[in-house]
Amino acid sequence: MTVISVRDDGLGFRPSEPLGFSVPGELTGTLYEATTTGGRLPSQRLVSQRLARQPEPGRTSFVTVADLDGGLELTLGEELAPDTVPGITRLTPREADAFARLDTGYFDLELCRGTAQGEGSSKWGIRHFAATAEGVDLLPSGNNAIGGFYGPFFTPENGLVNPPEHTTVDIEVVEWGPVLVRLRMRGTVPDGLLEELRGKSFTIDWQFSHGTPWFSRRYVVDPFDTVINGRSVVDKITVGDEFESGPGRLVFDRFDTPGGVRYRDGDPYARELVAMVADTLATTEADSAKLAVFRRALEEDIEAAHWDLYWRLFSSWEGALSPEEIRERLGRVAASAHRLADLSDRPWRISPGAVDVQAAPHETIFPGASQKTVEYDSTTGRAMVWWTERPAGQLQIVQRRQSGWVNWGSNGENECPELPVGTLIKTAYGPFAETWEAVADRLASPPVVTVADESEGAAG
What are the structural domains of the chain?
Answer: 3-83+445-457 (no CATH), 89-266+346-444 (2.70.98.10), 268-341 (no CATH)
In 189-235, DSSP assigns E strands to 201-209, 214-221, 225-228, 231-234
441 φ, ψ (degrees, to nearest 5): -60, -40
Closest CA to 133 of 349, 338, 390, 430: 430
What's the rounded Cα separation, in Å, for the pair 362 and 265? 8
CB atoms inside a 10 Å sphere around CB 269: 24
Closest CA to 305 of 293, 316, 315: 293
Q: Reduced to 3 states, what is the DSSP secondary structure of residue 352? A: coil
User: For residue 110, how far is the Cα from the chain centroid?
Assistant: 14
CA distances from 102 to 48, 94, 453 (A): 19, 11, 36
pLDDT at 116: 97
Asked if residues 185 and 124 have their Cβ atoms less than 8 Å apart, the reply is yes
Asked if residues 14 and 57 have their Cβ atoms less than 8 Å apart, the reply is no
CA dihedral 103, 116, 425, 33 (to 10 degrees): 30
157 φ, ψ (degrees, to nearest 5): -65, -35
What's the rounded Cα separation, in Å, for the pair 121 and 272? 26
What's the rounded Cα separation, in Å, for the pair 170 and 189? 13
325 φ, ψ (degrees, to nearest 5): -70, -35
In 156-213, DSSP assigns E strands to 170-176, 180-188, 201-209
CB atoms inside a 10 Å sphere around CB 450: 17
User: For residue 13, how far is the Cα from the chain centroid?
Assistant: 25
pLDDT at 84: 83
156 φ, ψ (degrees, to nearest 5): -55, -35
Closest CA to 359 of 400, 324, 396: 400
pLDDT at 316: 95
- Helix ranges (DSSP H) in 314-412: 323-341
Closest CA to 130 of 253, 246, 244: 244
pLDDT along the chain (460 residues), means of 10: 86 95 94 92 95 92 95 93 92 98 98 95 97 97 96 96 97 98 98 98 98 98 96 97 94 97 95 92 94 85 69 94 96 92 87 96 96 98 98 97 94 96 98 98 96 61
Closest CA to 97 of 130, 129, 124: 124
Asked if residues 395 and 370 have their Cβ atoms less than 8 Å apart, the reply is yes
What's the rounded Cα separation, in Å, for the pair 97 and 114? 6
